[in-house]
């Protein structure tokens, strides 16, 4: 697997040869997972069932963290190359919901946090 790399601001960038930077294998799959989690449900016009319903889960009162977890896990496990979400943990830190998960992939295991 290969995909276009993004930096910490989620922007594409050029490599040392002034080409679009690429990542492959587990790094590419980890990037695809992060981008899928950042996708709001309905955002993709040709795949409106992809993404997380942030407004129906965590931006709700009271927040439904269990629905949020389910949507994250379902979206991640639907990605080609992902075997399963092995571990998923959430915590609230400074009024921010944070998560960390270990994902088993065809390339090995990777940790995703947000």
Q: What is the pLDDT of residue 9?
A: 93
| Domain annotation covers residue 69 | yes
DSSP 8-49: TTS-B-B-TTSSB-EEEHHHHHHHHHHHHHHSBTT-STT-TT
Q: Write down how long the chain is.
A: 114
Both tokens assigned to 43: 């955002």
Both tokens assigned to 32: 């695809």
CA dihedral in degrees (31, 33, 35, 41; nearest 10)?
A: 170
pLDDT of 61 > 90? The answer is: no
pLDDT, tens only, 70-106:
999 999 999 999 999 999 999 988 988 999 999 999 9
| Domain annotation covers residue 5 | no
| Domain annotation covers residue 45 | yes
| Domain annotation covers residue 17 | no
CB neighbour class for 64 (10 Å; exposed up to 12, middle 13-18, buried from 19)? middle
| Domain annotation covers residue 3 | no
| Domain annotation covers residue 11 | no
At 93, which CATH number? Answer: 3.10.450.40
pTM over 0.95: no
Phi, psi of 99 (to 5 degrees): -140, 160
Domain encompassing residue 106: 25-113
The count of domains in the chain is 1
| Domain annotation covers residue 38 | yes
pLDDT, tens only, 8-18:
899 999 999 99
| Domain annotation covers residue 19 | no
């Amino acid at each position: 697997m290969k995909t276009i790399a993004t930096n910490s601001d989620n922007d594409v960038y050029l490599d040392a040869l002034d080409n679009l930077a690429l990542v492959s294998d587990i790094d590419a799959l980890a990037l695809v997972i992060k981008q899928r989690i950042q996708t709001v449900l309905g955002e993709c016009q040709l795949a409106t069932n992809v993404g997380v319903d942030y407004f129906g889960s965590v931006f709700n009162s009271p927040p439904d963290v269990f629905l949020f977890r389910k949507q994250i896990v379902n979206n991640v496990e639907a990605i080609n190359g992902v075997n399963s979400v092995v571990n998923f943990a959430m915590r609230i830190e400074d009024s921010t919901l944070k998560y960390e998960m270990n994902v088993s992939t065809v390339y090995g295991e990777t940790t995703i946090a947000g």
